[in-house]
Every structure is written in structure tokens, then in C-alpha cells.
């Protein structure tokens, strides 16, 4: 990945311009890889479309030139593959950036977007939608219920952490674990107690995580939430740097600690909630991506957060494309694939960097 | 102490604000003296317990004030409250007349977060570990000076580089903080504090994990900031001698209250050491700096902790500095020490006075009177051990040597070896009594032997333990 250019930043570094350099370099690299991947992902699948047809179709959609593809091919690209590609990218970006935020806030590279119970809340909401039959009423009910579930569980965890008027990150973490365990139990109980095998299958399928249900409608809803949330975090990225150094030190350097922390927690939760609502639970993206990006470009969140978003988007896009192709014509859920790739890769990183990376 | 008068225009504008803070200001005319930092009756409560109890303190430009006190006396809490990291229960903190803690009406106004950070820099006790490089960490000191989206410019980077040069941290500028040692991290934080260019430096044990050289460097840098830029500093220090050396004023905290304030000589008294720290100490002028130097003798609990000399009395027959060092050593070892007969102005007498020993004094250069001699004999007889030091003997103090004959247990200390001496017995004692003193001394040596000074404590310990065994 982008490891090489970053580690070769000269001694006596010049962070002001380094921020620009690292950010533009990383964005250029990840951006061009993403564009290449969009073309590839539009081409491959049970119905293979030649790359040349795909490229001209995409250019046509972008308002450049004419598509050379057959109408069927164009239809497949436009209404089946592209929404899925975009959703995969946005969900991956959401998980990447919120993982970066959580790792920074908790000063721990083991933190992931779901650490304060957002994901399990979303799962419970989805389970409720499926079990109650609400998901059959409208296709939007499943993500809506999931999002509401995320929001409720996040609020509960916040309230737990604020008991006694003094907000505590440690209580937030422990409250998140407690709420997650409880909601996990509720989900499992629902699966076991329901008589309807179809409902069971749907729940398990949803929990495994994937973007295969993507339609333009889902992109239109998820993308703005994720985009706005990501934009907000860019405002406070530098404050997060100082928070990572220490709460007292941040405050003594003029950071509004409470405001910054709450802004970050809420936007990370909203971003994650939106991602979970449309994709279920996709493991390891939010954990591994910021971790790798940090190894490559350092811990400055002004660079780390935008590149984690791009990197997460690219990673999930690659993973989803692979999930479509590997067992073709059958499909692997992308959540299973990310965990299968992510976990060993993560172990590899841990072992390789054990001596130089602690970040706690 | 440098009480500088700030610019008159500034002063006029804000003097009334400061005078409101505690009503001591006089805003009748221009040029009113008012402090860079005013801490007025600040009280901090943590977990329902009063940790800082109505502490007031003024810092003037160019001044370094040391805060000393035992663990839990409220030093760190006071510093954090001033820095705005802890909420004060009551009281006001104002920089240049702008309140930063505790809002009241009619003040110069309250500073915002960033304004405050431009005026007050805080250096925590423990330098945290994090994944930023040392250079990035130092550059963070520019945060309060930069707009929200402003990137650090070349002048900021130049400042950071210069600060790293000064704190000798340049060599690991590109290493991440979590790969540095505690002392290295502390110096990185110091560099960040320098880069922050604040008017007031609040430093919590800035030398805690540093080696001696870097301790001096840190304190020198802090003094440089106050002398050159006119910054003010409050430093929490545990090393009292270091505090005395570098601070213009000291504030002594005890159980959250300020129990003493003033020059190091005013604050570091044996009484204050006893009250605030529970230790017996001596305060002597440092031979190099002339500043107070604190020598610790032992804690209040020495008696129960069973030091070797606890409960035993040693009498020193000495003079002209021959017994001074032993006096200290014996006191530290827990012995009750007496001495005699010592003339006024004798350096041994000064030492005995400082140590609060029971001794027999005499006017300078006069013969020992019968009355002095008999008091001296009382001390000699009362002592478990008597040590005869290798002082020069003349007619005036001849009776001191005679008194040694009455000792229950005597140790004669070998005269120190004089360099270049060709005599067979290395070193000799000045004798101005036509040999009478030397003869008597030889007789005493025949009876009880002679030991070098370094062996005195050892011999006393042996005699002491033998006595303890025979007691059983």
C-alpha cells in the first residue's frame, strides 16, 4: 500500500507541508486505485462485460463520449453493479473513518467503529424489522429499523457514561461492551426462539454483512449521511491529534475537549449507523484500515482520517468484488470475506510491528 | 525579585479589574503595579475533600515561584486549577487582569480557550506516550496560535526546531514518542511548552524523570524564558535545594494551605521542614551558589525505625572544625550528640548550634574555666561514648583533653594524613603545650587505641551492639 512514500519522509520533517504532501499523495494513489477498481468491478461478475465496454459506459455516464456497450450490458452496469459499487465504497469509507476516530478517541488501535454498541444496536433493529415482518412492508424499513436501533443503543451507552454528571471514556467503553453483549443475547434469542426458518435465515444473512441488496435508493440515503459525518470530522481532526496526546494537555493547549469529543463520538456513531443500516455487520474494515493507514502516513488525523475513508472505501470495494467472483455464480457475503482476510492480515501486522507500534 | 511595572496604558485599562479580584489594588493613579498572574483565594474540592484551601499567590513578570510541599499537599491540584484543568470551588485566577478561572462581574473579561492557551502553558507531571513523532508533538505547541484550518508555517517549524535544539531533543525529532524514554518524553514536552510562547509557565515537576544534567538544563531554560521574555513561572518541585537555587520565591503548601511564602531562606527553615515534611533537616548555604541547601538528618519516625544510634549518646571533644563532619554523621545515624568545650566563632560550635546539640560553650581564645570544665565533665560522664577529635591543643583547651580521661568508652581519632609528610606516623596533632598534650594523648591511645575518622561510626556501632548483647 502507500507505505513507501510515507516512511521516506525526510528527517527533521516539515509537518505543515508534510500534511499537504502526505494527504495529496495518499489521496492520489488511493483515488486512482479506486477509479481503476470501479472499472474492474463494473466489468466482472456472473455476466462478464469486456473492460472496453465498461470503460466507455462509465465515461458516458460521466458525460464523456459514447458507450460502446450493448444496452443489456449498460443496464447491468448502471442499475445493478454501480449502486453496489458505490454502496460498498461509502460503507467502507464510513467504517474506515469512524474506526480511525474511535482508535484516536480511545487512544487504542484495537478500537473499532462498533466499540460503543452502534453495530449491535443496528443488528437488533434489523432483527426486529425482520422478525416483526416490517421488512417485508417496505425495503426501506430494514435499514430504517437498523439505524434507529443504532441510535438508541448509542444514546443508552452515552447516558451510562454520563451518569453522575461526569463523562468518562472508560465508562463509555465498558457501557458499550455491556450494551453490545446484552443486544447480542437478544439477537441470538430471537434467532433461536423464532419458528420461521426463513426469518432465521434472513437474520443470519443480514448479520453476516454485505452490500448485495444495494440499489440507487440506498446510495442516495447512505451517501449524504456518511459524507456529512465525514466532513464534520475533518473540522476537528487536529483537535483529535491533541486529544490523543492527553486530555489535560489538549485542554491546556486550548482544545474544547468536551465539545470536540462529543462531536466526534456522535458523528462517528451516525456514520457507522448509516453503514450498518445498509450493509449489516462488516467486520475488520474499521479496525484494519486505519491501522494500516497509520503505519503508512503516521498518526496525524488530518491525514489519517481522510485516507482511512478512501482506503476503507477501496478495501471494501475490492473485497466485495472478490466476494462476487470467488464462488461465482454463487456469492460469499462480503462481511465473511473481510473477516477472513482481515483477521490474518491483522495478526501479521501485529507480529511485524510488535516492537515499534504500541499506540496505547 | 523583579517586580516590573507593565506598560502604563495596559495597566490603566485593566488595573481596576485586578483590584476587584481581591480589593488590594490601588487604581487611583497610573502605573499601578499589578501581577502577571493573580491567584486569589482559590479553593479546589475533589471528591468532596478540600484539596486546595484558599490559596492566594501573585506572580510578576520575570519571576519564578516554586511550590513545595509533601505528597498530597495540593501542589499539583493547585497548578491544575490555575491551568483551568480542574474547576475551582471558589476564588479567581487572572492573567494580566483577564480572569481565566472563576468568573465574576467587573473583571477584565474572561479569556476564551485559545486565548488562555496563549497565556498559560501547562507542563504535566507525566509525559504521556503517543504515536506522534517528537517533532510533531513539539509543533502542537503552536496550536493556540493557529487558525482552525491553518497549517503550521515555516516560522512555526523553525520555532519547533529551535526549541528542540535548546532542549537537546533534536536527535530524536523523527522518533515516535512511544519509543522514547520517560526523560526524553519530558524534554519533548518542555520543548512544546517553549514553543507555546505563553506568558505564564505552569510546570509540574519538570525535572522528575531527568538525570542531573538535564535537570539543570530544564531549570536553566525556564529561567531563560523568564529573564529574556519576561514570562512568569510557577514550578512544583520536590528537590528543595533545586527549588532554592532557581526560584525567586517559594510557596510552601501543607494540607492544601499555604503555610509559608517568601525567599528560599524564609521558607526553608528547619521548623517548616518539620511541619510540612515531617523531617529533621539542616539548611546551610550552598558553598557554590550561596543559596539554601537542605541536608536531611532523618524523619520524625527515626526513633521507632531503630537507627543504629537511637538511644545512645556520643560526646565529641573537638574544635576548629575537627568534629564537624562527625557531628552530622552521628546525628544522621540517630545518636544523641553532645560536644565541648567550644569557643565562640569556632566552626564546630556553629555546627553544633545548627544541629541543636547540647554543648558547653566558652568565649573565644580564653582558657576553660572551672565552671565550664565541670559542666563539660558532666557531659563526658553522661555519654555512652566519647570521641576525641584530632584538634590542635593549646593552653586554653588543654582541659578538654584531660576531660577525656573521664570517658566511659573512649575513641581517639587519628589525625588526618597531611600530604607530603615525611614523618613515620602519618599526620600529627598541633601541640602548643610543650608536649603535655601529646603525652596525654599518647596515654589515652595506649588505653583505648586510635582509629581513623572514617572508622568512627563503625567502631561505635560495634561497641553499641556489644553493649546490647551484654545487656541481655
Which residues of B, range 131-150, sit inside 8 Å of A by Cβ?
131-133, 135-137, 139-141, 143-144, 148
What's the mean pLDDT in A26-42? 95
The four Cα atoms B376, B378, B382, B387 give a dihedral, to 10 degrees, of 20
Cβ atoms of B335 and B312 within 8 Å: the answer is: yes
Nearest-by-CA chain A residue for B150: A16
Which of A12, A14, A246 has its CB closest to that of B128?
A246
> Is residue B7 predicted with pLDDT exceeding 50?
no
Q: Does A244 touch chain B (CB under 8 A)?
A: yes
B141 vs B368, more confident:
B141
How is residue A45 written as a grid cell? 461478475
Interface check A358 vs B, CB under 8 A:
yes
How far B148 CA lies from chain A's nearest CA (Å)?
A: 8
* Chain A closest-CA separation from residue B144 CA (Å): 6
Instruction: Report if residue B383 sits inside a domain.
Output: yes
Indicate the pLDDT class of residue A37, thresholds 50, 70 and 90: very high
**Domain end point (choices B259, B276, B296):** B296
pLDDT at B469 over 70: no
d(CA B159, CA B391): 61
Residues B333-350 have a mean pLDDT of 85
Lowest mean per-residue pLDDT among A144-153, B188-197, B291-300: B291-300
Between chains, do A12 and B135 touch, taking CB under 8 Å as contact? yes
Q: Helix A301-326 crosses helix A216-235 at what angle (to 10 degrees)?
A: 160
The domain that holds B439 is classified in CATH as 3.40.50.720
Structure confidence at residue B472 (pLDDT):
52
Q: Give pLDDT, residue A250.
A: 93
State the virtual CA torsion across B170, B173, B179, B180 in degrees, nearest 10.
30
Residue B75, φ and ψ in degrees, nearest 5: -60, -55
Q: In total, how many domains does chain A have? A: 1
Mean pLDDT of B209-237: 93
Instruction: Kindly report, residue by residue over A228-258, the tens digit of the pLDDT.
Output: 999 999 889 999 999 999 889 999 999 999 8
The more confident residue out of A100 and B105 is A100
Chain B residues touching residue A299 (CB < 8 angstroms): 130-132, 136, 176
Q: What is the pLDDT of residue B127?
A: 87
Do residues B120 and B261 both lie within one domain? yes
Residue A113: partners with Cβ closer than 8 Å, 6 or more residues away: A94, A95, A98, A99, A102, A119, A268, A271, A272, A275, A286
Mutation pick from A245, A247, A256 vs chain B, by most beta carbons of B within 10 Å, is: A245
Contact A107/B at CB under 8 A: yes
Q: Which whole-number Å values give the CA distances from A253 to A246, A303, A355, B141, in the listed order?
A: 10, 21, 31, 7
Phi/psi of residue B315, each to 5°? -105, 130
CA of A129, closest CA in chain B: separation in Å? 43
Q: Is A300 on the interface with B (CB under 8 A)?
A: yes
* Site from A7, A231, A254 to mutate, B interface, most B CB atoms within 10 angstroms: A254
Q: Which residue of A has its CA nearest to B152?
A: A16
Whether pLDDT at A306 is above 90: yes
Give the mean pLDDT of A317-339: 88
Residues of A in contact with B132 (CB under 8 A): 241, 244-245, 298-300
pLDDT confidence band for B33 (50 / 70 / 90) = low
B2 located within any domain: no
A360 CB neighbours in chain B (<8 A) are: 129
CB contact under 8 A, A254 and B139: no
- Same domain for B288 and B348, yes or no, is no
Question: How many CB atoms sit inside 10 A of residue B99's CB?
Answer: 23
Same-domain status, B283 and B426:
no
Distance CA B386, CA B356 (A): 18
- Considering the domain boundaries, does residue A241 fall inside one? yes
What 3 state SS string does chain B have?
CCCCCCCHHHHHHHHHHHHHHHCCCCCCCCCCCCCCEEEEEEEEEECCEEEEEEEEEEECCCCEEEEEECCCCCHHHHHHHHCCCCCCCEEEEEECCEEEECCCCCCCCECCHHHHHHHEEEECCCCCCCCCEHHHHHHHHHHHHCCCCCCCCHHHHHHHHHHHHHCCCHHHCCCEHHHCCHHHHHHHHHHHHHHHCCCEEEEECCCCCCCHHHHHHHHHHHHHHHHHHCCEEEEECCCHHHHHHHCCEEEEEECCEEEEEECHHHHCCHHHHHHHHCEEEEEEECCCCCCEEEEEEEECCHHHHCCCCCCCEEEEECCCCCCHHHHHHHHHCCCEEEEEEEECCCHHHHHHHHHCCEEEEECCCCCCCHHHHHHHHHHHHHCCEEEECCCCECCCCHHHHHHHHHCCCEEEECCCCCCCCCCCCCCCCCECCCCHHHHHHHHHHHHHCEECHHHHHHHHHHHHHHHHHHHC
In the predicted structure, residue B52 carries a pLDDT above the cut 50: yes
Q: Would you state the pLDDT for residue A1?
A: 34
Number of domains composing chain B: 2
User: Given pLDDT bands bounded at 50, 70 and 90, which one contains residue B424?
Assistant: very low
Phi, psi of A51 (to 5 degrees): -55, -40
Bridge partners, B93 (sequence order):
B39, B101
Q: Does A329 sit behind a cis peptide bond, omega within 30 degrees of 0 on the bond before it?
A: yes
Confirm whether the ipTM is greater than 0.85: no
Q: Classify residue A7: in a domain, yes or no.
A: no
Place of cell 581519632: B413
Min mean pLDDT across B24-33, B77-86, B89-98 is at B24-33
What is the band of B105 on the pLDDT scale with cuts at 50, 70, 90?
A: very low
Look at residues B62, B25, B27 and name the one whose alpha carbon lies nearest to residue B40: B25
Whether B140 sits inside 8 A of A20 (CB atoms) is no
pLDDT of residue A8: 36
Structure-block grid coordinates of residue A311: 482506503
How far apart, in whole angstroms, are the C-alpha atoms of residue B164 and residue B173? 8
Q: Which residues contact B72 (CB under 8 A, 6 or more apart)?
A: none
Confidence of residue B209 (pLDDT cuts 50, 70, 90): confident
Q: Answer whether B293 touches A (CB < 8 Å).
A: no
Asked if residue B399 has pLDDT above 90, the reply is: no
Find the CB nearest B144 among A253, A358, A359: A253
DSSP string, A313-340: HHHHHHHHHHHHHHTTTS---HHHHHHH
Q: Please give the backbone phi and psi of residue A246, each rounded to the nearest 5 degrees, phi first.
A: 155, 145
Considering the domain boundaries, does residue B1 fall inside one? no
CA–CA separation, B424 and B105 (whole Å): 85
A256 touches chain B (CB under 8 A): yes
In a domain, A115, yes or no: yes
CB < 8 Å from B in window 2-41 of A = 11-17, 19-20
Nearest to B244 by CA among B68, B58, B77: B68
Contacts of B201 in chain A (CB under 8 A): none
Inspect the interface and report whether the beta carbons of A251 and B133 lie closer than 8 Å: no
Report the relative pairing of strands B450-451 and B90-95 from DSSP bridges: unpaired
Q: What is the percent of chain B with per-residue pLDDT over 90, rounded to a whole number? A: 39
B117 and A253: CB-CB below 8 Å?
yes
Q: Where a domain ends, among B264, B296, B328?
A: B296
Q: Assign A322 a pLDDT band (cuts: 50, 70, 90).
A: very high
Cβ of A253 within 8 Å of Cβ of B132? The answer is: no
User: What is the distance of C-alpha B90 from the center of its chain?
Assistant: 31
Distance CA B350, CA B134 (A): 52
Identify the band that residue B298 occupies on the pLDDT scale cut at 50, 70 and 90: low
Question: Is residue A98, in this structure, part of any structural domain at all?
Answer: yes
Measured between CB atoms, does B47 come within 8 Å of chain A? no
CB-closest option in B136, B178, B189 to A15:
B136
Q: Is A259 on the interface with B (CB under 8 A)?
A: no
Tell me, what CATH number does A153's domain have?
1.10.3470.10
Inside any domain, residue B3: no
Residue B309 backbone dihedrals phi, psi, to 5 degrees: -95, 5
Chain B CB contacts of A359 under 8 Å are 130-131, 178
Nearest CA in chain A to B197: A253
Whether residue B312 is found in the same domain as residue B287: no
pLDDT digits (tens, 9 = 90+) for A267-286: 998 899 899 989 988 988 99
Q: Which of A65-69, A204-208, B248-252, B309-313 has the lowest mean pLDDT?
A: B309-313
The answer on B149 and B209 residing in a single domain is: yes
Say yes or no to pLDDT of B53 above 80.
Answer: yes
pLDDT band at A47 (very low <50, low <70, confident <90, very high): confident
pLDDT at site B420: 52
Do residue B320 and residue B249 come from a single domain? no
pLDDT at A358 over 50: no
Q: What is the pLDDT of residue B54?
A: 92
Q: Nearest 5°: CA angle at A272, between A266 and A274?
A: 100
CA atoms of B259 and A337, how far apart (whole Å): 68
What's the mean per-residue pLDDT of chain B?
83
Distance from CA of A306 to the nearest CA of B (A): 15
Of B115, B151, B179, the CB nearest to A19: B151
Are B289 and B306 in a shared domain? no
B248 shares a domain with B339? no
Calpha distance B1→B337 (Å, rounded):
40
Mean pLDDT for the stretch of residues B354-380? 86
Q: For the residues B198-218, what does the mean pLDDT come to? A: 93
Q: Is residue B42 part of a domain?
A: yes
Per-residue model confidence (pLDDT) at position A162: 85
Helix, strand or coil for residue A78?
helix
Tell me which chain A residues have a C-beta less than 8 angstroms from the C-beta of B152.
15-16
A123-182 pLDDT, tens digit each: 999 999 998 888 888 888 888 999 999 999 989 998 898 887 778 888 888 999 999 999
Is A285 contained in some domain?
yes
Average pLDDT over chain A, rounded to an integer? 86
Q: Identify the closest residue of chain B to A236 by CA–CA distance.
A: B148
If you measure CA to CA, which chain B residue comes closest to A297?
A: B132
Whether A249 contacts chain B with CB within 8 A:
yes
When pLDDT is averaged across residues A220-227 and rounded to a whole number, the result is: 92
| A296 part of contact set with chain B, CB < 8 Å | no
Q: Among B261, B296, B331, which residue terminates a domain?
A: B296
Residues B282 and B336 grouped into a single domain:
no
Are B213 and B72 a contacting pair, CB within 8 Å? no
Q: How far apart are the first and last CA of chain B?
A: 61
| CATH label of the domain that carries residue B116 | 3.40.50.300
Q: Which domain holds residue A54?
A: 19-352
- Per DSSP, A254 falls in state T
Domain extent for B441 = 301-471
For residues B61 and B38, the answer to whether their CB atoms sit within 8 Å is no
Query: Which is it for the CA torsion B206, B131, A169, A260, positive or negative?
Result: positive
* Cβ pair B43, B54 in contact under 8 A: yes
As a whole number, mean pLDDT of residues B55-61 equals: 93
Q: Which residues contact A266 (CB under 8 A, 6 or more apart)?
A: A154
Question: Given an 8 Å threshold on Cβ–Cβ distance, is A251 in contact with B85?
Answer: yes
Is the domain of B252 the same as that of B310? no
pLDDT in tens, B448-460: 888 888 788 888 8
- Would the pLDDT of A44 be above 60? yes
Of A13, A242, A359, the CB nearest to B135: A13
The pLDDT of residue B428: 66
Chain B contact for A252, CB < 8 A? yes
- Gyration radius of chain A over CA positions: 21
CB contact under 8 A, B117 and A20: no
Cell triple for B106: 467587573
The alpha-carbon gap from B130 to the nearest alpha carbon of chain A, in Å, equals 6
Whether residues B288 and B249 share a domain: the answer is yes
pLDDT tens digits for A178-198?
999 999 999 999 888 888 888
A contact test, residue of B46, B126, B130, B165 with most A CBs within 10 A = B130
State pLDDT tens for residues A68-100.
888 888 899 988 899 999 999 999 999 999 999
Are residues B280 and B328 both part of a single domain? no
Residue in B324, B267, B274, B325 with CA at minimum distance from that of residue B292: B267
Amino acid at each position: 500500500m502507500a507505505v513507501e512514500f510515507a516512511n521516506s519522509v525526510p528527517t527533521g520533517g516539515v509537518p505543515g507541508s508534510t500534511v499537504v504532501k502526505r494527504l495529496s499523495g495518499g489521496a492520489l494513489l488511493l483515488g486512482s486505485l479506486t477509479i481503476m477498481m470501479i472499472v474492474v468491478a463494473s466489468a466482472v461478475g456472473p455476466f462478464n462485460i469486456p473492460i472496453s465496454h465498461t470503460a466507455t459506459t462509465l465515461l458516458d455516464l460521466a458525460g464523456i463520449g459514447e458507450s460502446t456497450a450493448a444496452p443489456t450490458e449498460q443496464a447491468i452496469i448502471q442499475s445493478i453493479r454501480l449502486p453496489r459499487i458505490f454502496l460498498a465504497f461509502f460503507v467502507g469509507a464510513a467504517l474506515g473513518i469512524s474506526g480511525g476516530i474511535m482508535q484516536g478517541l480511545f487512544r487504542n488501535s484495537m478500537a473499532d467503529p462498533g466499540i460503543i454498541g452502534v453495530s449491535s444496536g443496528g443488528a437488533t433493529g434489523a432483527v426486529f424489522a425482520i422478525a416483526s415482518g416490517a421488512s417485508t412492508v417496505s425495503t426501506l424499513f430494514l435499514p430504517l429499523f437498523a439505524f434507529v436501533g443504532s441510535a438508541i443503543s448509542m444514546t443508552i451507552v452515552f447516558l451510562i457514561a454520563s451518569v453522575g454528571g461526569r463523562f468518562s471514556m472508560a465508562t463509555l467503553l465498558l457501557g458499550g461492551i455491556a450494551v453490545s453483549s446484552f443486544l447480542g443475547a437478544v439477537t441470538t434469542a430471537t434467532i433461536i426462539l423464532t419458528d420461521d426458518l426463513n426469518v432465521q435465515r434472513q437474520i443470519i444473512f443480514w448479520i453476516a454483512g454485505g452490500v448485495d441488496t444495494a440499489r440507487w435508493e440506498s446510495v442516495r440515503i447512505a451517501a449524504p449521511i456518511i459524507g456529512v459525518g465525514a466532513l464534520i470530522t475533518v473540522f476537528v481532526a487536529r483537535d483529535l491529534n491533541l486529544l490523543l496526546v492527553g486530555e489535560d494537555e489538549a485542554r491546556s493547549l486550548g482544545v474544547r475537549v468536551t465539545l470536540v469529543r462529543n462531536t466526534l463520538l456522535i458523528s462517528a456513531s451516525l456514520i457507522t449507523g448509516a453503514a450498518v443500516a445498509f450493509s449489516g455487520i462488516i467486520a475488520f474494515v474499521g479496525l484494519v484500515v486505519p491501522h494500516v493507514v497509520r503505519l503508512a502516513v503516521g498518526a496525524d488525523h488530518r491525514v489519517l482520517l481522510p485516507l482511512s475513508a478512501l482506503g476503507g472505501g477501496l478495501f471494501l470495494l475490492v473485497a466485495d468484488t472478490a466476494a462476487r467472483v470467488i464462488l461465482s455464480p454463487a456469492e460469499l457475503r462480503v462481511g465473511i470475506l473481510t473477516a477472513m482476510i482481515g483477521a490474518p492480515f491483522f495478526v501479521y501486522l501485529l507480529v511485524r510491528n510488535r516492537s515499534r507500534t504500541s499506540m496505547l | 525579585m523583579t517586580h516590573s511595572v507593565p506598560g502604563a496604558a495596559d495597566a490603566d485599562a485593566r488595573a481596576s479589574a485586578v483590584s476587584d479580584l481581591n480589593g488590594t489594588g490601588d487604581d487611583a493613579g497610573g502605573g499601578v503595579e499589578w501581577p502577571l498572574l493573580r491567584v486569589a483565594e482559590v479553593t479546589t474540592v475533589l471528591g468532596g475533600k478540600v484539596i486546595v484551601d484558599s490559596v492566594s499567590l501573585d506572580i510578576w513578570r520575570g519571576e519564578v515561584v516554586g511550590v513545595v510541599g509533601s505528597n498530597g499537599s495540593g501542589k499539583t491540584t493547585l497548578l491544575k486549577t490555575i491551568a483551568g484543568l480542574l474547576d475551582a470551588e471558589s476564588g479567581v485566577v487572572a492573567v494580566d487582569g483577564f480572569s481565566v478561572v472563576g468568573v465574576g462581574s467587573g473583571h477584565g473579561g474572561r479569556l476564551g480557550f485559545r486565548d488562555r492557551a496563549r497565556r498559560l502553558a501547562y507542563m504535566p507531571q507525566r509525559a504521556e506516550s503517543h504515536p506522534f513523532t517528537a517533532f510533531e508533538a513539539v509543533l502542537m505547541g503552536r496550536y493556540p496560535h493557529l487558525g482552525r484550518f491553518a497549517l503550521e508555517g515555516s516560522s512555526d517549524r523553525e520555532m519547533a526546531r529551535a526549541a528542540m535544539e535548546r532542549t537537546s531533543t533534536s536527535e530524536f525529532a523523527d522518533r515516535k514518542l512511544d519509543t522514547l524514554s520517560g526523560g526524553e518524553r519530558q524534554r519533548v514536552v518542555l520543548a512544546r511548552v517553549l514553543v507555546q510562547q505563553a506568558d505564564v509557565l505552569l510546570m509540574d515537576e519538570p525535572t522528575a524523570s531527568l538525570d542531573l544534567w538535564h535537570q539543570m538544563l530544564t531549570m536553566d531554560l525556564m529561567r531563560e524564558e523568564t529573564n529574556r521574555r519576561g514570562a512568569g513561572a510557577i514550578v512544583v518541585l520536590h528537590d528543595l535545594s533545586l527549588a532554592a537555587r532557581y526560584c525567586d520565591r517559594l510557596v510552601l503548601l501543607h494540607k492544601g494551605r499555604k503555610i509559608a511564602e517568601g525567599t528560599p531562606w524564609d521558607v526553608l527553615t528547619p521548623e517548616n521542614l518539620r511541619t510540612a515534611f515531617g523531617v529533621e533537616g539542616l539548611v546551610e548555604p550552598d558553598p557554590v551558589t550561596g543559596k539554601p541547601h537542605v541536608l536531611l538528618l532523618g524523619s520524625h519516625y527515626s526513633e521507632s525505625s531503630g537507627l543504629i544510634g537511637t538511644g545512645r549518646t556520643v560526646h565529641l571533644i573537638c574544635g576548629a572544625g575537627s568534629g564537624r563532619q562527625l557531628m552530622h554523621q552521628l546525628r544522621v545515624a540517630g545518636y544523641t550528640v553532645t560536644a565541648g568545650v567550644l569557643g565562640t566563632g569556632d566552626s564546630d560550635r556553629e555546627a553544633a548550634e545548627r544541629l541543636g546539640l547540647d554543648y558547653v560553650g566558652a568565649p573565644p581564645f580564653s582558657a576553660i574555666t572551672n565552671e565550664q570544665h565541670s559542666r563539660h565533665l558532666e557531659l563526658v560522664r553522661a555519654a555512652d561514648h566519647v570521641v576525641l577529635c584530632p584538634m590542635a591543643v593549646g593552653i586554653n583547651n588543654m582541659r578538654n583533653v584531660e576531660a577525656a580521661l573521664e570517658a566511659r568508652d573512649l575513641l581517639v581519632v587519628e589525625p588526618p594524613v597531611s600530604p607530603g609528610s615525611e614523618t613515620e606516623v602519618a599526620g600529627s596533632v598541633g601541640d602548643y603545650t610543650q608536649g603535655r598534650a601529646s603525652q596525654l594523648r599518647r596515654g589515652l591511645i595506649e588505653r583505648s587505641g586510635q582509629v581513623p575518622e572514617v572508622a568512627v561510626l563503625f567502631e561505635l556501632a560495634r561497641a553499641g551492639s556489644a553493649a546490647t548483647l551484654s545487656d541481655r
